[in-house]
Structure 1
Amino acid sequence: MFAAGAKGVKTMGYRVVVVGATGNVGREMLNILAEREFPIDEIAALASSRSQGSEIEFGETGKKLKVQNVEHFDFTGWDIALFAAGSGPTKIYAPKAASQGCVVIDNSSLYRMDPDVPLIVPEVNPEAIDGYKARNIIANPNCSTAQMVVALKPLHDRAKIKRVVVSTYQSVSGAGKEGMDELFEQSRAIFVGDPVEPKKFTKQIAFNVIPHIDVFLDDGSTKEEWKMVVETKKILDPAVKVVATCVRVPVFVGHSEALHVELENELSATEAQEILREAPGVMLVDKRENGGYVTPIECVGDYATFVSRVREDPTVENGLALWCVSDNLRKGAALNAVQIAELLGRRHLKKG
């Protein structure tokens, strides 16, 4: 994996930084870089001063990385920085990295709708990455948007999507470690009869569902729902109409979505299945029998966006309904960021 070379000799790997390396997504980025054998000469793990000096594993390579303080890090001479630090730190350090010649791939929402920053899902709009030089920054979409557009892209190419109605069933890992801890602690409290007090979420999440992710907007939608609308338009097609209801469910990892799609041209469920079976990034598991579909538990740790329950929607002309599941820490965040880095390497930062 590490391309060793003598001093002054050009090698075949990249110098890669992971910012926010100690969080859920940052750790997953390190795991996926190792799993996919991304060509690396040198790697640095950065976090806040609280984590400085601690050690973190680089996947299953056996290599330990000492966490460095992002505040004092010089990005000069580094090729790619994967940011998983949230919008606050990203606002400070992403422009610094970009100005020092390091290409930023950012997982936060900060730059997604910036017209000078490409918003990329490699299976859907790889050509958009060519615009990264305007800011030296590339944005990673919202976790729910990423898996949805992977499933929609092949259908859009074949029959042109007019409208999407989506309901999401989003795991607590989308709210970070605090969200996962809250589900665990509340579940345990309920079993032993202790009182349950919401902290991270607005209501009890254990044995419950909460139709509220991120802040409310003036029109009654939440920011998470707004993200799915505007990001889908930017990535897939500005003409596609989208309405979303985003719901937090008591699942640790893996987001699910019920999609109702209205198409411009006729497309049968059988044809849709054939298209999805061959689509990049999609795994079709669609048997009309008990257990013939994928649930979040089965998708954890996998790279694919799983599609099941493909059927025709008789309530609209040229309508389809389908079920879509993916590991939100992977395709929804870390995997997509690493895939962007791979795409960037192929198209722009070629080594050797």
Structure 2
Amino acid sequence: MASIFIIGGSEDLAAEVLGELLSRGHDPEQFRLLHDSATAGEFVAVGETRFRVELASEEALEEAEAAIFLGDGLLAKDFVPLLAERGTLVVDASPYSRRMGLGTLVVPEVNGELLGAEGRSQLFAFPMATTVGLAIALAPLHAFAAIRRVVATVFEPASQRGPAGIEMLSRQSVAMVSGEGVDREKHPETFAFNVRPQAAGPEGEGWAFDERMVCQEIESLFPQPAFDVFLTITRVPVFVGAAQSLWVEFDSNVSLEEVQEALRGAPSILVAGDELPEATDEEAQLVLADEEAGPLDVAGSSAVHVARLRLDPLRSDCLGMWIAFDDMRKGVALGVASVFERAWGRYGPEY
């Protein structure tokens, strides 16, 4: 009888998470997919297996042993409190739990020791993809030389706005290439062939809501005293994949060799020029040799790719770096699967 439920999210994201869990040896018969009335009845394909999406309801969740929430958080709002009260294992990768301050915020490579700890609730929140990539890159650096401050420019793809964001970018791109231009009444913001910062919130003192969320999530993930994070999230005309330009200030001087050694010894990080264990062809190896690899270049990778490491010539306590990662795979699916498995306690820990 199915006892693990994947609830909400786009078809692509649900398939990515489910596919990752199946690749780790889980029985397909264990899983059920639930969604709202607009999506119930559709099918999600993972390889040759098709899963029918059912309507999310209290009745459907009566026998749930574990639940993974994806998407915009509306279904999580309806069902996470109910499941948490029952003591059901919940991994919430939607915005709901993290914005409400519920459960334990976890990225396995950063604070994975909290998974399965005695006395903790069975509700785990998973951060937004921007935070995941940033935290994985900063964790080994903060461990060897305490970070004082980070300044980041985040390049956010259309996929972070869901299927509607991808469709909007596609339609705008076609319209502009064909010479039609973008209809400002239908699309107040032009994303195709353009770069725009996220809009500041009405009460954010110039900050966008997601920028504040990333700062709060980083503070929650790292031990106190936390370091300062100042970032700007920009929306770029890229369908999938994320990148960030980082400026890291340490409490003490560091050498480039120390930085490289710390990064190379960390989980889920690949430094440009290193060997890629999962690479089986020359093209994949060229990605690592590319010091300027972007989101498209690392699509499908299980790592956060680090490049352009350099010290400030005037300050050896300041480091510049570039990171790129697959926002759907590394930013969500792999982390969610790892949080679930380690909290579930029935499979070996993986990243």
TM-score by structure 1 length?
0.87
Q: In the TM superposition, what whole-angstrom CA distance separates every residue of 1:183-218 from its partner, at most 9, and x where no partner exists?
A: 111111111111313589752000001101684543
Match of 1:105 among 88, 91, 94: 91
Does residue 181 of structure 1 match 2:172?
no
Q: 1:269 corresponds to which residue?
A: 256
> SS in structure 2 opposite 1:299?
coil
Aligned equivalents of 2:99, 2:118: Cα separation in 1: 13
CA gap 1:127/1:259 in 2 versus in 1, 3 angstroms: same
> SS in structure 1 opposite 2:105?
coil
> SS in structure 2 opposite 1:333?
helix
CA gap 1:308/1:242 in 2 versus in 1, 3 angstroms: same
- Counterparts of 1:307-326 in structure 2, within 5 Å, are 307-314=306-313, 316-326=315-325
Q: 2:195 corresponds to which residue?
A: 209
Given that 1:165 and 1:261 are in contact with CA atoms closer than 8 Å, whether structure 2 keeps it comes out as yes
Q: 1:252 corresponds to which residue?
A: 239
Q: 1:222 corresponds to which residue?
A: 208
In structure 2, give the amino acid aligned to 1:42: Q
| CA positional deviation for 1:330 | 1.6
Aligned equivalents of 1:55, 1:114: Cα separation in 2: 31
Moved more, 208-217 or 173-182: 208-217
Given that 2:153 and 2:231 are in contact with CA atoms closer than 8 Å, whether structure 1 keeps it comes out as yes
Q: 2:17 corresponds to which residue?
A: 29
In structure 1, give the amino acid aligned to 2:227: V
> SS in structure 2 opposite 1:247?
strand
Aligned equivalents of 2:318, 2:186: Cα separation in 1: 38
Given that 2:131 and 2:217 are in contact with CA atoms closer than 8 Å, whether structure 1 keeps it comes out as yes
Runs of at least 5 residues in structure 2 that lack an aligned partner in the other structure: 275-287
Q: 2:279 corresponds to which residue?
A: none
Aligned equivalents of 1:28, 1:161: Cα separation in 2: 34
CA gap 1:262/1:349 in 2 versus in 1, 3 angstroms: closer
| CA positional deviation for 1:315 | 5.2
Runs of at least 5 residues in structure 1 that lack an aligned partner in the other structure: 1-6, 8-13
Match of 1:197 among 175, 179, 183: 183
Q: How many pairs does the alignment contain?
A: 335
Q: 2:8 corresponds to which residue?
A: 20
| CA positional deviation for 1:129 | 2.8
Aligned equivalents of 1:335, 1:219: Cα separation in 2: 34
Superposition CA RMSD, Å:
2.7
| CA positional deviation for 1:75 | 2.4
Aligned equivalents of 1:50, 1:199: Cα separation in 2: 26
CA gap 1:115/1:290 in 2 versus in 1, 3 angstroms: closer
Does residue 163 of structure 1 match 2:120?
no
Aligned equivalents of 1:314, 1:236: Cα separation in 2: 28
Aligned equivalents of 1:282, 1:90: Cα separation in 2: 31
> SS in structure 2 opposite 1:229?
helix
